[in-house]
Structure 1
Amino acid sequence: MTLTDHERQMVALVAEFVDERVRPRVREFEADDVYPAEFIEEMKKLGFFGLLAPAEYGGVDVSTACFARVTEELARGWMSLAGAIGGHSVITYLIKTFGTAEQREKYLPRMAEGAIRATMALTEPGGGSDLQAMRTQAVPDGDGYSVTGSKTWISNAAHSGLIGLLCITDRDASPRHRGMSMLLVEPGDGLTISKKLPKLGYRGVEACEIVFDDRRVGVDAVLGGTPGQGWAQMMRGLEVGRVQVAARALGVGQAALNDAVRYAQERETFGKPIWRHQSVGNLLADMATKMSAARLLTLDAAERLDSGERADMEAGMAKLFASETAMQVALDAIRIHGGYGYSKEYDVERYFRDAPLMIVGEGTNEIQRNVIASQLIARNRI
Structure 2
Amino acid sequence: MDTEAFQEVLAAVRTFVRKEVVPAEDVIEQTDEIPGTIRAKAAAMGLFGFALPEEYGGLGFSMTEDVQLAIELGYTTPAFRSMLGTNNGIAGQVLVNFGTDEQKRRHLPDLAAGSKIAVFALTEPEAGSDPSGLRTRAVRAEGGYRLTGQKRFITNADRADLFMVFARTNADTEGTKGISVFAVESGAAGLSVGPKDEKMGQRGAHTAEVFIDDVFVPESALIGEVEGEGFAAAMRSLARGRLHIAAICVGLAQRLVEESVAHAAASRQGGRPIAEFQQVQAMLADSQTELYAGRAMVLEAARAYDDGGDRRMAPSCAKLFCSEMVGRVADRAVQIHGGMGYMRTVPVERFYRDARLFRLYEGTSEVQKVIIAKQLLKGATTLPHGKA
Pairwise same-fold verdict (TM > 0.5): yes
User: RMSD of aligned C-alpha atoms?
Assistant: 1.7
The offset of 1:35, in angstroms, is 4.3
SS in 2 for 1:129: coil
Partner of 1:52: 51
**Residues 170-249 of structure 1: matches in 2 within 5 Å?**
170-173=170-173, 176-187=175-186, 188-249=188-249
Q: How many residues align?
A: 380
Deviations 1:236-275 (A, max 9, x none): 1111111122122122211111100111111233343222
Deviations 1:37-67 (A, max 9, x none): 3322221111001111111111111111221
Structure 2 residue identity aligned to 1:234? A
Are the aligned partners of 2:86 and 2:117 in contact in 1 as well (CA < 8 Å)?
no
Identical counterparts, % of pairs: 35
The offset of 1:360, in angstroms, is 1.0
**Residues 1-382 of structure 1: matches in 2 within 5 Å?**
4-90=3-89, 91-173=91-173, 176-187=175-186, 188-378=188-378, 382=382
Structure 1 residue identity aligned to 2:178? G
Structure 2 residue identity aligned to 1:230? G
Are the aligned partners of 2:34 and 2:80 in contact in 1 as well (CA < 8 Å)?
no
Q: Which moved more, 1:53-62 or 1:84-93?
A: 84-93
Q: Which moved more, 1:164-173 or 1:16-25?
A: 164-173
Moved over 6 A (4+): none
Structure 1 residues 108 and 130: CA distance shift in structure 2, 3 A: same
In 1, Cα distance between equivalents of 2:227 and 2:257 = 46
In 2, Cα distance between equivalents of 1:23 and 1:140 = 49
Are the aligned partners of 2:133 and 2:175 in contact in 1 as well (CA < 8 Å)?
no
TM-score using structure 2 length: 0.94
* Structure 2 residues without counterparts, runs of 5 or longer: 383-388
SS in 2 for 1:178: coil
In 2, Cα distance between equivalents of 1:128 and 1:184 = 20
Are the aligned partners of 2:165 and 2:184 in contact in 1 as well (CA < 8 Å)?
yes
Structure 1 residues 95 and 381: CA distance shift in structure 2, 3 A: farther
The offset of 1:381, in angstroms, is 5.1
Are the aligned partners of 2:34 and 2:79 in contact in 1 as well (CA < 8 Å)?
no
Deviations 1:197-222 (A, max 9, x none): 10011111210000000111111112
Deviations 1:160-214 (A, max 9, x none): 11111221111223x6422011111111211000110100111112100000001
TM-score using structure 1 length: 0.95
Are the aligned partners of 1:252 and 1:354 in contact in 2 as well (CA < 8 Å)?
no
The offset of 1:112, in angstroms, is 0.9
Are the aligned partners of 2:267 and 2:273 in contact in 1 as well (CA < 8 Å)?
yes
